[in-house]
Structure 1
Amino acid sequence: MYIAIEGVIGVGKTTLARLLAERLGAESLLEVVEENPFLPLFYQDPVRYGFKVQVFFLLSRYKQLLPLAQPSLFTGGVVADYLFDKDAIFAAMNLSGAEWDLYNDLYRSLAPKIPTPDLTIYLRAPLPVILERIRRRGRVFEKQMEPEYLARLHEFYEHHFATYPHALWTLETQDLNFAELEADQDWVVRQVQERLAQKTATPSAS
């Protein structure tokens, strides 16, 4: 079992990944955003640091997800708080010209080696909700983000998942509190279990 959770910054990916991993007896695979030394600089000067921040994230995510190609290493399954596609979504928004071409060549050479999740959960929420969650989280470099940047990022996510070809559940989170409310936690876990069961019961095309 491999579940990936996606959505814009601050939508609740890590919170849900930890919850599902605990409830499903799986291992959580969490992105370590703070390890990227270029990220605070990127929010100050996106044009100058865009390529550096994206390549760092690409290689970091690749190294973290590559072991999933050996399922025997994760007997209880894995719940990740990001999808490998995430890197290309951000890069498409932040890079252009020769930098985008070089990045895209690197991405296309690495992506086929990463397994496809059994289920991808795409979390959505209105922009004011996202901004409030970011404020509560308190990461200093995220406070520099403009609402316009998040709105544009949302558009890129919507475009990506409009044609996503794999098992996908789009979850509206504005009225859910799976960080604290047990009823919401139980509901989300049941929904995930049902979708995984449906996928297992569906015969593969020959």
Structure 2
Amino acid sequence: EELRQARLFSPVRVADYLLEKDRLFAKVTMDSDEYRLYEQIHAQLTLEAPVPDLVIYLQAPVEVLLQRVKKRGRSYERHIEAGYLRHISEAYARLFHNYDLAPVLIVNATGIDLVDNEQDYEQLLQRICDTRSGRHYFNPLPLELQG
């Protein structure tokens, strides 16, 4: 009980980074020799990364991801190809469906708009607040299908 109360007053941190993502991107983007060297160096490092209270994985088909990348219009994302996104998406799916260091909320983000739709955002925020342990799946209905 005392620990729980102390956590009420600790700062909330939101990050778009998880140490395991580094290895994921290395495996997808490096050739076998580079990745072998990466693994050798990685094995020598002892990193005490903090364990997150919750991991949120926003999952969507490659076609949806490509549309969203295009809509964002960031110049450094202009040359992202479907094949690359497919490899990254598959690697993320393997990672987060097996991740057990912290609670995981896997969100089907296909039909929701967390940027421009307040209702979608609030619905996800509520699910985040309700997730305390284990692995959970959130499959919200697109707005046009909600009654």
State the TM-score bracket (shorter-chain normalisation).
0.7 to 0.9
- 2:121 is aligned with 1:165: no
1:186 alignment partner in structure 2: 122
Question: Which residue of 131, 139, 148 corresponds with 2:83?
Answer: 148
1:96 alignment partner in structure 2: 31
Higher-Rg member (1/2): 2
The alpha carbon displacement at 1:111 in A equals 6.0
Instruction: Tell me the SS of whatever aligns to 1:100.
Output: helix
Aligned residues: 125
Query: What is the distance in 2 between the residues matched to 1:110 and 1:173?
Result: 35
* Structure 1 segment 37-56 matched on structure 2, within 5 A: none
Residues 163 and 111 of structure 1, relative CA distance in 2, 3 Å threshold? farther
The alpha carbon displacement at 1:79 in A equals 0.6
Q: What CA RMSD, in Å, does the superposition of the two structures yield over aligned residues?
A: 2.1
Structure 1 stretch displaced more, 103-112 or 76-85? 103-112
Query: What is the distance in 1 between the residues matched to 2:45 and 2:124?
Result: 32
Gaps of 5+ in 2: 1-8, 135-147
Instruction: Tell me the SS of whatever aligns to 2:14.
Output: strand
Residues 148 and 189 of structure 1, relative CA distance in 2, 3 Å threshold? same
1:138 alignment partner in structure 2: 73
Q: Contact 1:91 / 1:100 at 8 angstroms: preserved in 2? A: yes
Question: Which residue of 99, 102, 113 corresponds with 1:177?
Answer: 113
Instruction: Tell me the SS of whatever aligns to 1:122.
Output: strand
The alpha carbon displacement at 1:109 in A equals 4.1
Higher helix share goes to which structure?
1
Gaps of 5+ in 1: 1-73, 200-206
* Structure 1 segment 59-98 matched on structure 2, within 5 A: 75-98=10-33
Instruction: Tell me the SS of whatever aligns to 2:11.
Output: coil
Higher relative contact order (CA 8 A, sep 6+): 1
4+ residue stretches of structure 1 with deviation over 3 A?
108-112
1:50 alignment partner in structure 2: none
Q: Contact 1:90 / 1:153 at 8 angstroms: preserved in 2? A: yes
- Percent of paired sites with the same residue: 31
